Every structure is written in C-alpha cells, then in structure tokens.
Amino acid sequence: MDEPKTTVTKLLRQQAALASFGSFALRQGDLMAVLSEAARVCAESMDVPFSKVCRYRPEENDLLVEAGYGWKPGVVGNVVSRADASSPQGRAFSTGQPAVSRDLRKDSEFVLPAFYAEHGVVSTVDVIIKGTDEPYGVLEIDNDRRCDYDQHDIDFLTGFANVLAEAVATSTRTATLRSTIAQMATAVEEKDRLLDQKKMLAEELQHRVRNNLQLIYGMLDKQVNDTPDLDGRRGLKAIVRRVSTLAQVYDHLLGREMSRTTDFGGYLKSLCANLAEIQDSPSGAVTLTCASDTIFLDLNSVTALGLIVTELLANSFDHAFPDGVGKIAVAVRGASDHSDMATMTVRDDGPGFTMRTESKRHGLGLVRRLAEQLGGTTEVENNHGTLWTIRFPVLPAGALA
C-alpha cells in the first residue's frame, strides 16, 4: 500500500520541480545559470548525488560537460566524452533515445572517463536535449549505487530535457538579438561619426570653394575695368557672370548643410537680383522681373539652369536694347499633371533676335548644350522682342529625397 503512495509523491515532486524550473528558465537570461539550475533540480528530483549537462561540439564530435551538480572541481568545463556509442551520453546522443545503464560495472561496451570511477558512479540515465537544427547535447543523472529506474523516471527526464532545449533555444535567440542590436548600435555610431566627418569635410570644401570663387571674381572684375577693348570687356564680363552664378549655387546649396536639393524659384530670384546689379545699363534703364513656382531641383539641374539664365540675361543686357532702355521678364512654371516637364521663359522687348548680328550671340550655344544635358529642349521666338522657352524635366518628389 505504501509503494503506490510513494510513487505518487515522487511524481508530484518531479512535476512541481519541472514547472518551477520552466518558470525560472523563462525569466533567466544567463544560459549558464539555466544549465546549472537544470543539473541541480534533476539531481534533487531524482534523489541522486550527481547530474550534468553535456554540450555537443561538432568540430570535435564530442560532448563537453558544460554544467553539473555534485562533481569535484575540474569536471565541469573540462571533461569530454565521444559522441558515439562508446559512452552512455554518447549512445543517447547518437541514437536520440534514452540510454539507461543500471550497473556500469557490468557494462563492458563503454569506455568511461576516469572521473566516473573517481566519483563511484554506478548507474546513469541519459536523455537527448533537442535543438532547432541539431541536438544541443545530453542531460545525464549519475548515481553511486545501482538503481532500477522506471518509465516515470525516464518520462520526467525526457520532459525536463525538452523544457531545457526550449530554454537553450530562447537563450540563443536572445543572444543573437542582443548581438544584432549591439552591431546595429555600433553601425549607427559609425554612421554618425562618418556623417560628422563628412559634414566637417563639406564645410571645409564649401569654405575653400567660396573663397576661391570670390578670389576669381575679384580678379576678373578688376581685369574688366583694366581692359580698354570693348569686346574684351564683354568676354570677361560673361565669365564674371558665370563665376557669380556658380558662387550663388554654393551659397544656396552648400550653405544649407550640403542639401541635395533647393527651391529653384527662390534661388532664381536671388540670381536675377544679383545679375541686375552687375549689368552695364544705367540704373533703372533696363528693368528685370522674375517670377517662379516652387520647384525643388538637385545640384546639377540648379547649376545648369542658373548658367542658362545667366547667358540669356547677359545677351539681353548686352545686345537687346540699342537705346539702353527695355524690359526683361523671367518666369518659371512647374510641371503639369500631364507632364513631368517644367517651363522657364526669358523674354525681352528689344528689336528681336534676328536683328542682332551673328557675332553677338555670346553663350547661346552653351544654352542649348546645357538644356540638352538636362534632357530638356530650347525654343526661340521673335515677335516684338525675343522669347526663349526652356523645358526641363522635374523628378517626382520622392526621387530627390
């Protein structure tokens, strides 16, 4: 009558131990702590003096005692067994089935490490600890006396090993996640460092370019005043205007933390105001107006269109008004719903392009080349003045982000 009651008590104790360990393993992030606790709980639940968890090492094809309970110093972390049928744990690992050795003294098929005899181990039970891709290793209990383990004991250890396998998998996933997060944090830090370095280099480049453009502008401007030849002055002034245009590109783009895009409309109005200041006509004799939609363009497009406007305005200032009085209007319209092409017009009310001599078409070939480089087109009309129409593509907003 007492034996069934004892069996029930043992089963309840084992089930409680299994539940308690499962809760512990889910809360614990340290894998070694989980393995050590597993060895302790198994030994106490099975009422044996020793227990160990062996980890499989594929490179060596062996089983290393990773954690244990009750062993003398030097066993855990050092002792290995072959992962084949020559050892109790190797047999369980290689077959995937529980391996029970009731009396190792009579089991001549095993080649046992010396620590078994040193600890007086007589009987063992080994069950495999499964893994996601391959088994993690083996859970073993060791007794210093002969013991006849029943099916309940095997089932308990098998269930315990399954819980342990899930704990190992969770720990591995957590470790991988932490490693990934650490790598991402390192990558972000490196990215920030490179961005800071890039910003410093960009600021240095901006400073140098701006200084060089100012230096060139000053030298050319002085040369204009020192050149007596009219055609020579006009040629130099055309170069001065181009340098001034490039300088304003840097002011609007590089001066805004190396932004990849800028509002071309705002830039165009500033450029026109600057070009009006450096033209030769008496103050107010030639009026220049500028109107533009808000259009965000990249650096290449802004630079090319800025040079186009510079050349067309220079041509109008220099050649459109024989009496030195007139009007110039610059306008830009964004792309319509049915087209990805924006339109820029430059109109003057001079006598018309056909009345200007061929030798005075300064820079107009450059206008066509720059427009073609952008994938755009140019048209010129003469009707009570000259009208240039430049059409150029505008990328969708997301393409410039």
- With a CB cutoff of 8 Å and minimum separation 6, the contacts of 358 are none
Which of the following CATH numbers is that of domain 2-183: 3.30.450.40, 3.10.129.10, 3.30.530.20, 3.40.50.1000?
3.30.450.40
- With a CB cutoff of 8 Å and minimum separation 6, the contacts of 392 are 301, 305, 341, 342, 344, 371, 374, 375, 376
Strands 286-292 and 326-333: parallel
Could you give the CA distance from residue 374 to residue 390 in angstroms, rounded to a whole number? 11
Could you give the CA distance from residue 143 to residue 160 in angstroms, rounded to a whole number? 18
**Token pair of 384, please?**
């009570």
CATH 3.30.450.40 placement within the chain: 2-183
Which of the following CATH numbers is that of domain 260-400: 1.10.150.20, 3.40.50.150, 1.10.10.10, 3.30.565.10?
3.30.565.10
**Token pair of 182, please?**
């650490």
Could you give the CA distance from residue 171 to residue 28 in angstroms, rounded to a whole number? 9
The residue type at 306: G
CATH 3.30.565.10 placement within the chain: 260-400
Q: What is the pLDDT of residue 400?
A: 44
Q: What is the pLDDT of residue 305?
A: 92
Backbone angles phi and psi of 149, in degrees to 5: -80, 140
SS3 of residue 11 by DSSP: helix
pTM of the model: 0.49
**What is the pLDDT tens value at each position of the chain, 401 positions in all?**
456 667 778 788 888 888 888 888 878 878 899 999 999 999 998 999 999 999 999 999 999 999 999 999 999 999 888 899 888 999 999 999 999 988 888 877 888 888 888 999 999 999 999 877 789 999 999 999 998 888 988 999 998 999 888 888 888 787 777 888 888 888 888 888 887 887 777 667 666 666 666 666 676 677 767 777 766 766 677 677 777 777 776 666 555 544 567 888 888 998 888 888 766 555 558 889 999 999 988 878 888 898 899 889 888 887 777 777 889 999 999 887 777 899 999 999 887 665 554 434 555 788 999 999 999 999 999 878 899 999 999 865 544 44
CB 169 within 8 A of CB 131: yes
Could you give the CA distance from residue 298 to residue 93 in angstroms, rounded to a whole number? 64
Alpha-carbon distance values, 30 to 172, 173, 288 (Å): 10, 12, 76
